[in-house]
Amino acid sequence: MEENKELRSLINDLFLKIEKMPNDQQYYFYKILENIEKLATNPHDLGDLKLTNTAIKELRRSLKIFEPYRDIRKVCLFGSARTKTNVKEYAMAKEFASQITKRGFMLITGAGSGIMEAGNSGAELNSSFGLNIKLPYEQRPNAYVPESRLMEYKYFFVRKIVFIKESDATVLFPGGFGTLDEGFENLVLLQTGKCAPRPIILIEDPATNYWQEWLHFIKTQMLTTNEFINADDLSLFKIKTNVNEAVEEILNFYRVFHSLKYVKDFACLRLNQALPASVIKELNLKYKSILKQGEIVQYLDNVFMPCEKYPDKPKLCFSFDRFNYNTLIEMIYFINQSV
């Protein structure tokens, strides 16, 4: 169907009346309006429009909830909704939530019962969120999610996007299909570079052997027998049986490493402190395999990234092959241990 010129004109007028915003934001807001025009111009099934509208609405509401807390690091916590309150892993999840929020992090759970309830109840006051999925059974918001930080979702895919987008670490306790789905999704996104580097921690009561049995399957079927993954992919996650160790693992991940930003063909690791020249030299020797060309260079000023959100942080910049993300994670662990 041809472009609706009248509708396009109305969208242009609407765009011009919107209060002033930065140029990069203007561009994307206009593209959103442009896509709305295309939806209105071309014929669509009613169900398609309902899906699109609901997804946009859920994303908009989520962004509004998280906006005031955007500069605070967060951990998403997954685990079974069926875990009983007298099970050791319930107490471990509650203790983990207490410890990590006392250290300045916020917690995001699925808002339900079991492990999710343990997380929200253990978190410090006003330090947790709940992203609830609407189901006809099993999933109801627990009593410990602050109403101002509770979001209800119709679609799993939107909920998953928000979990990843708004968090800096992933912690999984034993659970069913949903927990494993979230765990594998996090691993795939990390393995393929579709999310920023993060620690993924699997916590279990050592008496259950839950994650050890899972790891046995990963090693025997996915790694050794069928070679569906590489040995380096095992570095994408850590298994812990102690809450204190899990908390320290997350804190240590961000001890020197701060965040990652891509600038054209370069990856730039923002750091909380500069690295000695000897460490830069060792990095170039140890991680040469992930470079497309050149070497790893440390910048103490803002020359390489002029429009930078964190201008005062040192950066490691290099031409990354955009393939060996598991090795990139190993490099971050090495950096954190090097100073």
pLDDT the model gives residue 140 = 83
Extract the residue ranges of the chain whose pLDDT is less than 70: 1-4, 17, 19, 138-139
pLDDT tens-digit profile of 13-36? 777 767 677 777 888 888 888 888
- The total of other beta-carbon atoms located within 10 Å of residue 18's CB is 11
| 80, 176 Cβ separation under 8 angstroms | yes
Nearest to 33 by CA among 14, 53, 58: 14
| 253, 332 Cβ separation under 8 angstroms | yes
132 phi and psi, to 5 degrees?
Answer: -90, 140
Distance CA 162, CA 225 (A): 35
pLDDT the model gives residue 139 = 67
- For 22-45, the three-class secondary structure string (H helix, E strand, C coil) is CHHHHHHHHHHHHHHHHHHHCCCC
Burial of 184 per CB tally in 10 Å (0-12, 13-18, 19+): exposed
| 128, 146 Cβ separation under 8 angstroms | yes
Longest dimension (CA), the chain: 68
Nearest to 55 by CA among 162, 195, 183: 162
Q: What length is written for the chain?
A: 339
pLDDT the model gives residue 92 = 98
Q: How far is CA 288 from CA 234, 282, 294, 318, 339, in A?
A: 20, 10, 9, 10, 20
Place of tokens 């009613």: 46
User: Tokens for 226?
Assistant: 């069928």
User: At how many degrees (to 10) do helices 156-165 and 46-66 cross?
Assistant: 30
